Structure 1
Amino acid sequence: MTLPSTPGTGARPGPRRRTVVAAGAGAAALSALGVPPATATPGASGTGAGAPGADHPAPAPRLGTGWQRYVQAPGSRTVRPVRVLGSTGEVRRPEALLKPGGARTVLRRPRPDAAPRWPEGTVAEASSAHPGNNGNDGTPRTYDAGNAIDGDPDTFWNDDTQGEFPDTLTVTLPAARELSGITVVSNSDGVPTDFTVDVWRDGGWSTAATVADNDVIQRAVPFGAPVSTTRVRITVTAVQDTPRGAFTRINEVWPEAVEPVEKPSVTLDFGKVVVGHPRVRFTSASDNSPGVRLAFSETLQHLTERSDFTRSDQSGTPAQGTDQFAVPAGGADWTDRKGHQHGTQVYADGLHGFRYLRITLDALASDAPAAEPWGTVEIDSVALEFTAYLGTPATYRGWFLCSDDDLNRYWYGASYTNELVTDTFRQDDVDPRNAWSASLEGLRVLHDGPKRDRDPYVGDLAVSARTLYLTHDEAADAARNVLADLAAHQRADGWIPPASINGYTLPLFDYPLWWVTCSWDYVLYTGDRGYAERHYPNLLKVLDVWYPSVTDGAGLLSKGLNGTGGYGDYAFLGRTGRITYYNANYVQALHDAASLARWLGRRDDAERWTERAALVADAVNSLLWDASAGAYLDSGTGPVRHAQDGNAIAVTSGVADAGRAASALAHLDATTQRPYGNAFMDNDTLFGGASQRVYAFTSYPEIVARFETGRADSALDQIRRTYGWMDRHDPGITHWEGIGPDGSLYEDAYTSMAHGWSTGVLPALTHQLLGARPTSPGYATWEVRPHPGSVAWAQGQLPTPHGPLRVEWQRTAASFTVTVHVPSGTRGTLALPGDSARLTVRGGGRLLWDGRRARDRDVRVAGGRVTVAELGPGSHRFTATTGH
């Protein structure tokens, strides 16, 4: 789920951070982080345990060999960094942080001189200033020019020009003073990159210095010669861009050029994204309470003096993007947990999702004297208390392996990504934007990401819950808890909230449909009749009360009816009216609800919903099909565009017949293919860059559609581009929330680099490539329908309430052999790939199909495939050969 950020501690909305090291950054930029260039870029699959790096490729998998080597989770809940990337300042033995009980790492920083001050009576004014606001505690905050000369580095001047330049800050002294230079102190939320410093003399302004390409927080600006002046003017013409815009922010201006003393820091790499509570064992410190600041990032690109994201960005806590700790003289075994160490000072956010950790001897000015930015700190070791589901080989109840090493890596990368979001709902580490709920506290849930938003969204469950059921089904309560909780908060008019965020009030148009589909999925995989019966009234209310209230005369859902004009969807897209995605999703939800109703014996409801689904499908085909493009329109109003979500789900939901499905997928091929996946729009009429953005969330149904329409190699190509891109790029292994132009992080540092809604490659490879899936609740019946494409062999296991369902198949140019191991209490059907007219099928030592007719009553041709029905418990082996 992508939820827009809300104001944090500064004037502009959203988290504020800056990029110091760009993708492909050179040695100079890396050196600024204290990172040796040779070690800065992770290997193709990440560099953590269980992930072979680019320089050491894994041997090709072999049929029958173990899948366990692909498992990515740490071996225990104590996770240690795998390497030191570098250090800055005065640091001794940084590598000692990797192993406890041996040598110690020492960080030392001398006490800095007091900052120079302007004389009493000095004033400041600016070309603009952002209006003030109140913090979460109600304390008024200002962003005016006077903050730049008040001697408090925690306050700042913030312009209000929304990226328009120049911005000017003018400092006026009460009397002339000789200046040899100034210092501009900013922060990572708005570093002035290009600016000039003018001084007033001889009745006019003259330039004393020009700065370009600045990327440091404390910039000393010496003048060519001392100048006697009464006014100094700083004119900013460019600033470091941030995810929420470009704006000037200056915390302090000093009346001298003061070069900063390099802060001692160590940058650690945990090898892959991890989540939990960092733990640092300090063995000793100087007696002045030296502070340390911890900055976290999922990517090296966004590792700076502040974290790529921290919940305090959204809660209003003045943590300035890092977690703080004041080290006692006797040392401490400190676990980073949310809260203040001293009264209202020295704040830490607690749990983090990250790959990289930077520890710096430093302290916020507002934390003095509880923590000081100087002294000596001795550290024995650094670790992480891993909080998420620990998916070791022993816990996997479902697994997958095939002849393609890349596909194996993507499958287990998806599983690990999903393990990171399977965690306990805790007040201290959920999204701070009014997402905490007493009804979820202490329960296992599926969050959307380990870093953010850390709130369970039902749309994300449409993918992540399937991934969970196929790997660690004993944790299925994580999905059930979320679905049941959202049902309990159903609105009186039938609308179901998408998540607990904003006190269960975030208005989304599509997510109640996902609640229906996810409820059917949960019952389908688990057979939990109690859940189905308990929440059937919720199903009736959302489908028979709320969605009819937003249905137009043609029978189509139309966003804007019944006050829904301001409702969002999974990506808060500015779409309105008849949208193919909403209506194709509606058809799917109606079919899923009908399946559940039949299982419960509610045949009238099932028939009514099935009839309605057919009417909606007809209306979509009549009113939203664009014959000139050969694809479904995104919207029936506004500029013409065609979306991945609507076209793909039109295929998977059965709205599209074979001809329309082929045409729609061909259109997506021609217009949306990118090196890093398929874009979710075919043009930029919705917003700039839409045709360059890839969501794995909406790519999943397209991949399924390609498999199911006989385009397996096309599906595999899309998988390799989408998941191969994420696998090869930092942080490696885990699957991103979204991909932007040229394969970038689509929301810069704010992007979640491990997101449950992006794990669709796992169910696609299990259900479509391997071909096994449930067809009735609790796997009472199932189907094996492989779509092998160019893959030579595959094998896997699906966990069911009755025991494991295992499938193995192998193909050659002339034959296809498959073995199905069926658990007790279940029956299923095998559909063999290939043209039935060219196949001979044998099984159990008998000829079952000779290319023209069946030799067994349970063998028939359906959809062009030879199918064998009524396969009961035990092992069944079949071989299909071409020719007769």
Structure 2
Amino acid sequence: MPNVPTGEEPRTPGAQRRTILKAGLGGAAIAATGLTLGTAGPAAADAAHHPAPPRHAPKSWQSYVQGPSSRTVRPTGVQRTSGAVTGADALLKPGGGVTVLKRPQPLAPPRWPDGTTATASSAHAPNGGNNGQPRTYDAANAIDGNTDTFWNDDTMAAYPDTLTVTTAGAVSLAGITLLSNSDGVPSDFTVETWDGSAWQPAATVTGSTSVRKAVPFAKTVSTTQVRINVTADQNTPQGEFTRINEVYPGVLPDDDIPRVVVDFGKVVVGYPHVRFASASGNSPGVRLAFSETLQFLTDRSDFTRADQSGVASGGTDQFAVPAGGADWKDTKGYQSGTQVYADGLHGFRYLQITLDALATDAPAAQPWGEVAIDAVWLDFTAYLGTPDSYGGWFLSSDDELNRYWYGAAYTNELVTDTFRPDDIDPRGADSPTLDGKLVLQDGAKRDRDPYVGDLAVSARTLYLTHADAAAAARNVLADLADHQRADGWIPPASINDYTLPLFDYPLWWVTCSWDYVLHTGDHGYAAHYYPQLTKLLDSWYPSVTDTDGLLSKGLNGTSGYGDYAFLGRSGQITYYNANYVQALNDAASIARLLGHRTDANRWAARARTVADAVNAHLWDADAGAYLDSSTGAVRHAQDGNSIAITAGVADATRAAAALAHLDATTALPYGNAFMDNDTIFDGASQRVYAFTSYPELVARFLSDQADSALDQIRRTYGWMDRNDPGTTHWEGIGPDGSLYEGAYTSMAHGWSTGVLPALTNELLGIRAVSPGFADWSVQPRPGSVEWARGQVPTPHGPITADWQHSGHGSFTLTVKAPHGTSGTVAVPTDGREVTVEVDRHQVWNGKKGTGYQAALHGGYVTLEGLGSGTHTVTVRPAR
């Protein structure tokens, strides 16, 4: 889910600091846009590595499975090398030689003369601490000779940001060299020198990405002042700002630091291993940087927990190699006292190995010498999804849909892992009640904490693929209920010691609890946590209900509460109230299961009251869509409109109008935006969340707009599949298809896997109707797809469906159901008069039913009471 703003790091004006990210859940085809993968934005930079294959008839579902075959995962290729690196390909062939990195001892850089001072137009205020010492970011750090300190400008001020170095007497300069921090490289800047009466231009730099940048002057000058004017910075995980560690008086030669980048083929997660065959005797340091994309692979990782915990790691994991070599497993902690730190577990696709060391790690690690590496691999920690582990599967005539389904399954496997204190979000997320348990986390690389809203999608994905791991969802739901607040509110996650205030996530706890019981039949869970359910719905949410009968954020001290995207919404919000309707109806289902009829009737009645109030106060007749909020700027959100449809708030007429509005206002080449304008924040109408796209996909299928849903799937998931890192599903997509929060964006996020339940539940058509699939339904919504088949695991055994759609009223469906279950089947008529047979016996003659209570409903012939075993339903045009 997107993050909790903390204000600890500088950002460009109007931007929020990204720190705790979290969230949860519940098109017509685009004409020529002029956008191509090569020009769509930063995320498309590696699109050539993932060309879109043609649709074709697949061979087997097993061929699409993405998970590794074992927990030892090795790189698949070498992306690049620099500096003195030999034998890089040996990293791909265990026992096939060694890769050697060499670096001579660097010469000491030149120093400014005594008495030199530095000033700046701004400096960021101290924040946090470094091993107990306060961090300072003032200009003097840029000339102190310590490469681990830096000047950090205050980016709330407008460009240019200036750094001025003043000497006591004139110095002769042929140029300067800037050593920057890898998360604050000035990309565009000018250098000026003082001639005694005015500033004179000396050099101009544009588009720099170099941490160490030599800037020669056109001619040697004698001066007492040098001024650096920064006009643009790189977009980094922490934002856009300048961090200059040192300004050296002279043009230093290139320092060819040895680096090798290996590619694991797709995002993986676990503990990296490097086996060193040997090393020189000076304790040469090795630094590991990790990234899910090539775009954000620099001399620091795209994300590291050390940035959040306050450990000074330089954004990399460090190791000092002993002369005899070592078999090093990257685990969290220091190698030597309080020096040479590594973060341990990482989620990444690309790994950069560099012969280098932090200045603060000397003498335990030195930035020069020689190391020989004979193997690199990963100890994969997440759920190991092999063909044998899949209890559910999917296959269709469309190769693209198949890839997206198994990409979602793999993404979800990456976030199904054991909760371990060293590997999770360091910001107060550790909990003794979760330690050692299997959980569904939100992301592979971050935040690595279970959020209940994310489970609204990821748990459904889990139940449909690996039902044997359903405890990963139960453990989270039970733990959050066990930490219920005295007033009834249920925390969204363990982060901040279970105190992160979100307004919508307790509703997702209700819906996710019903989802869990529905798919697993676990009556014991429902009975045990029924008191928490009652307290939440009858105490806390009534305390934030206004006189119109609607939830209103701001009541009862909730003005500062967030939601899945930490949006600045207040008052009556369609999304919150549509979610409320869904939660009340789901709670009523739990109450009926447990025999609490009075509660069930009361909650169902309240759901109807809230739905009526949503339609009375939040429907915008002029736009033909639900307002995001009843007050403030007029906008219409994907979340509220979609869930209003899936929760039954909208009737068929309003549902059609709302979907038409989203078609007209939110369709993009990379999915559908979650807002129809930018009144909530700049760029909102260009942001896509697969999380909130999932209910829209379901709404389109339920509204008999299957091809519209398929078009949206192909745009959203096709974009992610084709662009680096490929296969896995992103937390969010930003303008022009970019990573919506730069390098901080999680590229393997469980809440984005909604394509899988959408294809299984809606396109293939298999759904649970009562707990444990004692009652089930199969209602395919094929659209233009020619055939599909698949399986869903249940406590009674698997349910399979296999259908072919020839169009024009011709359809064949075979269902195989386990013993002890019964269900309903609905088959499409394509708007024609048809006959229907079950196992070669006619049950619908085109006008009326002759078996299985056959009836015509909205373009489908429904059949009741099909028992266990195999049944074939055949639809033919009536003669």
Scaled to the shorter chain, the TM-score interval is over 0.9
Q: Alpha-carbon deviations, 1:184-205, whole Å to 9, x = none?
A: 1111222222333333344443
1:520 matched residue in structure 2: 514
Q: What's the counterpart of residue 4 of structure 2?
A: 4
**Aligned residue number for residue 623 of structure 1:** 617
Matched, 1:791 2:785: yes
CA contact 1:42–1:731 (8 Å) conserved in 2:
no
Q: 1:215 and 2:209 equivalent?
A: yes
SS at match of 2:873: strand
1:439-491 per-residue CA deviation (whole Å, 9 max, x = no partner) reads: 11110100000011111000000000000000000000000000000001111
Report the residue type matching 1:220 in the other structure. A
Find the counterpart in structure 1 of residue 163 from structure 2. Answer: 169
User: Aligned equivalents of 1:787 and 1:866: distance in 2?
Assistant: 13
2 CA distance for matches of 1:434 and 1:514? 22
Residue 834 of structure 1 is aligned with which of 829, 832, 841? 829
**Distance change >3 Å, CA 585–CA 671, structure 1 → 2:** same
Partner of 1:473: 467
1:145 touches 1:169 (CA, 8 Å); kept in 2?
yes
Alignment of 1:598-637 (within 5 A): 598-637=592-631
Secondary structure at 2:608 match in 1: helix
Equivalent residue, structure 2, for 1:584: 578
User: 1:630-645 counterparts in 2 under 5 A?
Assistant: 630-645=624-639
Q: Kindly report the root-mean-square deviation, in angstroms, between the aligned alpha carbons of the 2 structures.
A: 2.1
**2:216 is equivalent to residue 234 of structure 1:** no
**1:420 is matched with which residue?**
414
CA distance in 2, matches of 1:242, 1:785: 47
One-letter amino acid of the structure 1 residue matched with residue 513 of structure 2: S
Which residue does the alignment assign to 1:700?
694
Matched residue, 2:868: 873
SS in 2 for 1:206: strand
Counterpart of 2:739, as a letter, is L
After TM superposition, the structure 1 = structure 2 runs for residues 172-251 of structure 1, keeping only pairs within 5 Å, are 172-242=166-236, 244-251=238-245
The residue matched to 1:146 in structure 2 has which SS? helix
Q: Which one is further off, 209-218 or 698-707?
A: 209-218
Aligned CA distance change for structure 1 residues 342 and 511 (closer, same or farther; 3 Å): same
SS in 2 for 1:133: coil
The letter of the residue matching 2:433 is S
Question: In structure 1, what is the Cα distance between the partners aligned to 2:702 and 2:638?
Answer: 16
Kept in 1, the 8 Å contact 2:71–2:381? The answer is yes
1:674-685 paired onto structure 2 within 5 Å: 674-685=668-679
Question: What is the alpha-carbon distance in structure 2 between the residues aligned to residue 158 and residue 738 of structure 1?
Answer: 29
In the other structure, the counterpart of 1:297 is 291
The corresponding residue for 1:346 is 340
Q: Secondary structure at the match of 1:567?
A: coil
Q: What CA deviation, in whole Å up to 9, does each residue of 1:273-329 have, x standing for no partner?
A: 100111111100111111111111111111111111111111111111111111111
* Aligned partner letter, 2:4: P
Residue 32 of structure 2 is matched in structure 1 by none
Alignment length, in residue pairs? 858
| Other-structure match for 1:61 | 57
CA distance in 2, matches of 1:313, 1:5: 15
**Residue 377 of structure 1 pairs with residue 383 of structure 2:** no
- In 2, distance between residues paired with 1:700 and 1:789? 18
What secondary structure does 2:422 align onto? coil
- Alpha-carbon distance change, 876 to 257 in structure 1, aligned in 2, over 3 angstroms: same
- Using the alignment, how far apart are the partners of 1:165 and 1:205 within structure 2? 18
Corresponding residue for residue 809 of structure 1? 803
Moved over 4 A (4+): 5-16, 22-26, 39-42
CA contact (8 A) 2:127 2:134 kept: yes
How far apart are 1:628 and its partner, in Å?
Answer: 0.6
**Distance in 2 between the 1:75 and 1:549 partners?**
51
Which residue, out of 270, 281, 287, partners 1:276?
270
Bigger drift between 392-401 and 841-850 goes to: 841-850
Give 1:218 deviation, angstroms: 1.3
1:33 match? none
Structure 1 residues 200 and 136: alpha-carbon distance in aligned structure 2, compared to 1, 3 A threshold? closer
SS at match of 1:251: strand
Check whether the contact 1:15–1:313 (CA below 8 A) recurs between aligned residues: no
Gapped regions of structure 2 (runs ≥ 5): 20-35
Deviation at 1:657, TM superposition (A): 0.6
Residues 307-316 or 440-449, more deviating: 307-316
Cα distance change, pair 345–444 in 1 and its aligned pair in 2 (3 A):
same
Go from structure 1 to structure 2 and tell me whether the alpha carbon gap of 1:235 and 1:854 turns closer, same or farther (over 3 Å shift). closer
CA displacement at 1:866 relative to structure 2: 1.7
- Answer with 784-793 or 834-843: which moved more: 834-843
Structure 2 CA distance for aligned equivalents of residues 300 and 109 of structure 1: 24
CA distance in structure 2 between the aligned counterparts of 1:455 and 1:654, rounded to whole angstroms: 32
Q: Is the 8 A contact 2:713 2:755 kept in 1?
A: yes
- Mapped to 2, the partners of 1:215 and 1:835 lie a distance apart of 57
In 2, the alpha carbon distance for the partners of 1:8 and 1:646 equals 32
- Paired AA for residue 649 in structure 1: I
CA offset at residue 143 of structure 1?
0.7
Distance 1:784-1:453 versus aligned 2 partners, 3 A rule = same
Within 2, Cα distance between the matches of 1:857 and 1:823? 19
Question: Structure 1 length normalisation: TM-score?
Answer: 0.94
Give the match for residue 66 of structure 2.
Answer: 72
Structure 2 distance, partners of 1:361, 1:637, is 57
Determine helix, strand or coil for the equivalent of 2:681: coil
CA offset at residue 250 of structure 1? 1.1
User: Which of the residues 398, 401, 407 maps onto 1:407?
Assistant: 401
What is the identity, as a one-letter code, of the residue corresponding to 1:60? H
Secondary structure of 2:600's counterpart equals helix
Letter in 1 for 2:834: L
- Residue identity opposite 1:442 in structure 2: G
**Aligned 8 A contact 1:163 1:246 in 2:** no
Among all aligned residue pairs of Structure 1 and Structure 2, give the percentage whose two residues are the same amino acid. Answer: 68
Structure 1 residues 604, 684: CA separation in 2 closer, same or farther (over 3 Å shift)? Answer: same
Q: Is 2:39 the partner of 1:43? A: no
Is the Cα–Cα contact under 8 Å of residues 183 and 238 in structure 2 kept in the other structure?
A: no
Once the two structures are TM-superposed, the CA of residue 183 in structure 1 deviates from its matched residue by 1.6
Q: Contact conserved, 2:238 with 2:744, CA < 8 A, in 1?
A: no
Q: Within 5 Å, which residues of 2 pair with 1:135-154?
A: 135=129, 137-154=131-148
- Which residue pairs with 1:663 in the alignment? 657
Considering Cα pairs closer than 8 Å and 6+ residues apart, tell me whether 1 or 2 has the greater RCO: 2
Question: Post-superposition shift, 1:41?
Answer: 5.0
Indicate the residue corresponding to 1:366 in structure 2.
360
Cα distance per residue 1:826-854 (max 9 Å; x no partner):
11111111268711011223111101111
Question: Which range moved further: 248-257 or 202-211?
Answer: 202-211
Q: How many angstroms apart in 2 are the aligned matches of 1:878 and 1:612?
A: 40
Q: Is the 8 A contact 2:3 2:18 kept in 1?
A: no
Check whether the contact 1:8–1:314 (CA below 8 A) recurs between aligned residues.
Answer: no
How far apart are the structure 2 equivalents of 1:76 and 1:857? 48
Aligned position for 1:853: 848
- More moved, 196-205 vs 674-683: 196-205
Which of 521, 524, 544 is matched with 2:538 structurally? 544
Matched, 1:450 2:444: yes
Q: Which residue of 2 aligns with 1:825?
A: 820
Q: Which letter maps to 2:850?
A: R
